[in-house]
Structure formats: structure tokens, C-alpha cells
């Protein structure tokens, strides 16, 4: 049976760089941990579980758009291309459009390498006609694709509104790099649109507490990477909707006074103090197109769902 090829861009996630990044964040007056650390193997499984929640509208809604407009999307993207899925996760979204867009090569890029190695062989088994490649990479600073990725028409795929985890400046930097690597292809981008608070609160603080488990797991990831002694029981998941910044913010709140240590460092948290773990920026169709234009994209096809919760844009 055909097996996917793997390549890790190790320079983007050297263990020392990851440690330094975590310690720097913990030593900030507003402690923070980058959201990419939410995704070890368990975190990726927890995120996949979240996508099955009816409250987590981004997945449900994006799926509705794919189903309704699959043929139009395929017409815009063309066929026989190389589909590069950024932050591929369980690869289910790409799989849902394989039949329509018929890529000749599928490249799944993700920081969560163990999870990628679990899901990609199964996908390859189902689609032996598509050449598949897994790329382990942290693209938060730099998108450096392996030279072995075919130079045929490259279509990037960045669904799930993962772009919302970045600030506008960081998002613009990533879009610049996508534009310059996309050859004659383009970018199929999923973006979450601003909506009423109740929907956001239910999605990011769900009643089954899956998002809480997903967020708290970041402390275990940090313990593994910097050998610290966070106790998950000392913190709780909490969110804020920051209207001026048009984003949902995820935090872990200390339930009591705690001191956390690691080699060469400690950090004390007062009860109620917060660790910032994720931003999820929301856009309007106009504001995301403006960001895409600033990166050199000039032609857009845009599809939205019946409630205008989410937009899918093919940009060239």
C-alpha cells in the first residue's frame, strides 16, 4: 500500500527555541502561552472532539458551505493541482472536497506531528491515487515549504479560521508568504465572521467542557516541554469577548495562589491571575479581503452560509 512521505522542517521547532518561547511567555507580566502548544497528540484529539459539538459552529458552518458550493469552489480552483493544507489537523475538511477538486498531490502541514502521522496513512489508504505528504512545521514565524513539493499549480488551504489565531500583522506576514509561494494557484481561506456574543460564548465555553479540557491540556504540554510543574487542578478555563479588538480571548485563571517552577525559573500566580492562551479574531468579508489585498491577492470568490456566520474565500 502506498504510504505518505514525511518531512519535518526542524529549524522551525527546535526544542531549545520552543522552550525559550514558552519561558519568555511565562515571564511576561501578562503570562501567555502560544496557542500552537494546545496541539500535542491529546490536544489534537480534543480539538477533533470539539468539532463534533453542535455549539462549535465554525466546523458545522464551514461544512455547510463546502457541501453547498463544492462544485463552484472546484471550478475556481481548477484540477490537477497540489493542495497544501496549513494546520491540517484531522485532514477531514480537505477530504470533504477531494472528490470535487481532485488534487494530484495533497500536502498536510501541521505542528502536531504525531497526530499527523496517525491520520495521514489512513487517508492515503482511502485515496491511493493522490500523492500525499506530511510536513511537520511551525509556520507562525516562517512558512518554509520543502523543496520536494511539486511546482505545479499550488493551492493553499487554510480552513477553520485558524488565521484568526494571529494578530493582523502576523496574519498579513503569513498571507504574504502564501501569496509568494502559490505560483499560479491561490488560497482557499475559511474565516469566522463577527456575530452575537451568545453564540461565541457557547462555542468557546461549551457545556460539556471539552474546550476547557483542550485549553487546560496546554499546561501538560508545557510541563513536558520545559519540565515545569503546573497542576491542571490549580487553573480553570475562562474566555472574554474583546469587542474593540473583534476577538474571543481564551485564558487559564489561577484558582488559588500558586508558584510554578522549571529549570532556572519560577513564576507565581495570584488567585484570579490569568494566563492568555489564544486569540480568535473575527472578521467581516470586507476586512479580510482588505488584508488579502495588502498581501497582493486581487481576485476573490466568496461564499457564506445561510446565517452569515462564516466565509470561505478563494483568493488569487
Query: Which residues of this protein are in contact with ligand SAM, per CB under 6 A?
Result: 36, 39, 44, 47, 51, 59, 87-89, 93, 110-112, 137-140, 159-160, 162
Which CB atom, from 136 or from 269, has the smaller least distance to ligand SAM? 136
Residue 146 and residue 9: Cα distance in Å, rounded?
Answer: 8
Which CB atom, from 51 or from 153, has the smaller least distance to ligand SAM? 51
DSSP letters for 251-277: EEEESS-EEEEETTEEEEE-TT-EEEE
In the complex, what is the shortest distance from the CB of residue 259 to ligand SAM, in angstroms, rounded to a whole number?
A: 29
Which CB atom, from 4 or from 258, has the smaller least distance to ligand SAM? 4
Pairing state of beta strands 235-242 and 247-254? Answer: antiparallel
Which CB atom, from 164 or from 185, has the smaller least distance to ligand SAM? 164
* Chain-centroid distance, C-alpha 242: 20
Count helices and strands (H / E) in the chain. Answer: 9, 13
Which CB atom, from 112 or from 269, has the smaller least distance to ligand SAM? 112
CA-closest candidate to residue 110, choices 94, 96, 97? 94
233 C-beta neighbours (distance < 10 Å), count: 11
Residue in the block written with cell 472536497: 97
In the complex, what is the shortest distance from the CB of residue 160 to ligand SAM, in angstroms, rounded to a whole number?
A: 2
Residue 189 and residue 121: Cα distance in Å, rounded?
Answer: 25
Residue 283 and residue 195: Cα distance in Å, rounded?
Answer: 10
3-state DSSP assignment of residue 69: helix
* DSSP secondary structure letter of residue 12: G
In the complex, what is the shortest distance from the CB of residue 34 to ligand SAM, in angstroms, rounded to a whole number?
A: 7
Beta carbons of 263 and 175 less than 8 angstroms apart? no
Which CB atom, from 105 or from 273, has the smaller least distance to ligand SAM? 105
Which CB atom, from 59 or from 289, has the smaller least distance to ligand SAM? 59
Residues comprising the chain, all counted: 316
Which CB atom, from 76 or from 161, has the smaller least distance to ligand SAM? 161
In the complex, what is the shortest distance from the CB of residue 271 to ligand SAM, in angstroms, rounded to a whole number?
A: 30
In the complex, what is the shortest distance from the CB of residue 27 to ligand SAM, in angstroms, rounded to a whole number?
A: 21
In the complex, what is the shortest distance from the CB of residue 62 to ligand SAM, in angstroms, rounded to a whole number?
A: 7
How large is the angle between the packed helices 113-126 and 41-51, nearest 10 degrees? 60
Residue 280 and residue 168: Cα distance in Å, rounded?
Answer: 11
In the complex, what is the shortest distance from the CB of residue 5 to ligand SAM, in angstroms, rounded to a whole number?
A: 18
In the complex, what is the shortest distance from the CB of residue 85 to ligand SAM, in angstroms, rounded to a whole number?
A: 7
Amino acid at each position: 500500500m502506498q504510504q505518505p512521505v514525511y518531512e519535518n522542517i526542524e529549524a522551525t521547532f527546535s526544542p531549545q527555541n520552543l522552550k525559550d518561547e514558552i519561558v519568555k511567555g511565562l515571564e511576561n507580566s501578562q503570562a501567555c502561552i502560544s496557542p500552537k502548544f494546545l496541539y500535542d497528540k491529546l490536544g489534537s484529539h480534543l480539538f477533533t472532539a470539539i468539532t463534533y459539538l453542535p455549539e462549535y459552529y465554525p466546523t458545522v458552518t464551514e461544512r455547510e458551505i463546502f457541501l453547498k458550493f463544492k462544485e463552484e469552489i472546484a471550478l475556481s480552483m481548477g484540477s490537477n493541482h497540489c493542495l497544501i493544507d496549513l494546520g491540517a489537523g484531522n485532514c477531514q475538511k480537505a477530504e470533504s472536497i477531494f472528490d470535487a477538486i481532485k488534487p494530484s498531490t495533497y500536502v498536510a502541514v501541521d505542528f502536531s506531528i504525531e497526530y499527523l502521522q496517525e491520520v495521514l496513512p489512513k487517508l492515503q489508504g482511502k485515496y491511493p491515487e493522490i500523492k500525499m505528504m506530511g510536513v511537520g512545521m511551525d509556520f507562525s514565524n516562517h512558512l518554509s515549504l520543502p523543496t520536494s513539493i511539486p511546482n505545479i499549480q499550488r493551492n493553499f488551504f487554510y480552513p477553520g479560521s485558524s488565521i484568526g489565531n494571529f494578530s493582523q500583522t502576523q496574519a498579513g506576514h503569513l498571507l504574504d508568504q502564501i501569496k509568494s509561494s502559490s505560483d499560479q494557484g491561490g488560497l482557499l481561506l475559511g474565516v469566522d465572521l463577527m456575530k452575537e456574543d451568545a453564540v461565541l460564548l457557547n462555542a468557546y465555553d461549551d457545556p460539556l467542557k471539552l474546550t476547557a479540557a483542550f485549553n487546560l491540556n496546554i499546561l501538560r504540554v508545557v510541563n513536558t516541554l520545559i519540565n515545569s510543574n503546573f497542576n491542571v487542578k490549580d487553573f480553570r478555563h475562562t474566555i472574554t469577548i474583546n469587542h474593540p479588538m473583534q476577538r474571543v480571548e481564551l485564558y487559564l485563571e489561577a484558582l488559588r495562589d500558586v508558584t510554578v517552577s522549571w529549570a532556572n525559573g519560577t513564576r507565581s500566580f495570584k488567585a484570579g491571575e490569568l494566563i492568555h492562551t489564544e486569540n480568535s479574531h473575527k472578521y467581516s468579508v470586507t476586512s479580510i479581503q482588505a488584508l488579502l489585498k495588502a498581501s497582493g491577492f486581487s481576485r476573490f470568490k466568496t461564499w457564506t452560509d445561510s446565517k452569515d456566520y462564516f466565509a470561505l474565500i478563494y483568493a488569487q
